[in-house]
Amino acid sequence: MSLPDISTMLLRIPGLLFAISVHEAAHGYVAYLQGDDLPKRQGRITLNPLPHIDIFGIIALMLFGFGWAKPVLTDPRNYKNPKVGMGITALAGPVANILSAIAFALILKYVDSYSLISNRYILVMLQQAYLINVYLAVFNLLPIPPLDGSKILFLFAPAKYMEFYDRFEIIGQIILIACIFFAPYLLSFVLQPIAYFIFSFIDIIVKLFP
């Protein structure tokens, strides 16, 4: 994994701001639909990227394509079923990114088919938005606290998993940050099979459209 050039990093900015906004707003909105108004009161159900930005997560996304946003705080006590509610709320972020990636893939398909855009920079910006949405979803599906994948496990894990989660959440954060900044090749090796599956899924969906 090589670092992108300056122009590519700059062209990633619109896509990554959109990706983190969609991701976190989806968490907040799904929590709100389940009876938890905490995300709404904190102003997190919005596509405005400012409330969602975590500066180190943004830097990681710009440099490596893997990163994070400021987590949306929720109160599972407000859910009718806290265990299921936490799992569904966690799943909403990656799903929102995958749906966004499908939308960008379709835009790129029609732009290419009908030569709608000739500006190279706009094309790269669209391509980066597509990739960032996929990789943000993939990264967050890792079953390592505090990522969404670890919370999705609530749907299937026994109750004692919660004790494990609370104990290792901080350790998980340290491990993830260390991997992103000091061992991106290792992280890429782990995530590429998941990314390949999602890219293949998106390709199948896009081919359904004329």
Query: pTM for the complete prediction?
Result: 0.90
Q: So what's the pLDDT on residue 144?
A: 84
Residues present in the chain in total:
210
- Measured CA to CA, the distance from residue 67 to residue 142 in angstroms comes to 12
For the cut 60, the answer to whether the pLDDT of residue 5 exceeds it is yes
Task: Find the catalytic residue in 12, 24, 129, 149.
Answer: 24
- Measured CA to CA, the distance from residue 15 to residue 151 in angstroms comes to 25
pLDDT digits (tens, 9 = 90+) for 159-186: 666 666 667 777 878 888 888 777 778 8
DSSP state string for 18-79: HHHHHHHHHHHHHHHHTT--HHHHTT-SSS-SGGG--HHHHHHHHHHS----PPPP--GGGS
Catalytic annotation present for 24: yes
pLDDT digits (tens, 9 = 90+) for 50-83: 999 998 888 888 887 777 889 999 998 899 888 8
Phi, psi at residue 132, to the nearest 5°? Answer: -60, -40
